[in-house]
Amino acid sequence: MRVVVAPVSTFPDGERRIVEVGGRSIGVFRVGESFYGIRNRCPHQGGPLCLGHVLGDAVADAPGQARVSSDPLRIACPWHGWEYDLDSGQSFMGGAMAGVRSYGARIEPGGSLLDSLPARPTERVPGPYVAETFEVRVEDAYVVLEV
């Protein structure tokens, strides 16, 4: 199932959205031009994982040239600080600990989303009146979550 989260133009770099899909709370994150979806429930004790900080590793290619790497990105749970890979959901708190469910998130052109709309019912009988209609186009791009 695809879920439209937001138009890309309203989802700036570094922002997150938390959406409810089928009874699950899922966080969608934008980091640069990449999007990530991850369940908003920490496997440790059920904390609101997607309210935590997004972290990268501190790396330096040479002395005095330290920077924060965006590969891999982790999210730290706000309750006790357990960390998970933002892309895969992999836990970094010991091999026996379960990871968290991750979901694909990407940009799709608005026009492609029209193909996934449910078909209209065909059993209806047309009446004598016809309302004026107008062509509608979807021109923006949207962030879409695959669940």
Return residues touching ligand FES (CB under 6 A): 42, 44-47, 77, 79-80, 82
Q: Closest CB to ligand FES among 45 and 70?
A: 45
Taking the complex as a whole, the smallest distance from the CB of residue 80 to ligand FES amounts, in Å, to 3
Q: In what order do the strands lie in the sheet with 66-76?
A: 53-60, 66-76, 83-85
Taking the complex as a whole, the smallest distance from the CB of residue 43 to ligand FES amounts, in Å, to 8
Q: Closest CB to ligand FES among 7 and 78?
A: 78
The SS3 call for residue 119 is: coil
Q: Closest CB to ligand FES among 17 and 39?
A: 39
Taking the complex as a whole, the smallest distance from the CB of residue 76 to ligand FES amounts, in Å, to 8
Whether residue 72 has a cis bond before it, omega within 30° of 0? yes
The SS3 call for residue 128 is: coil
Nearest alpha carbon to residue 107 among 21, 52, 28: 28
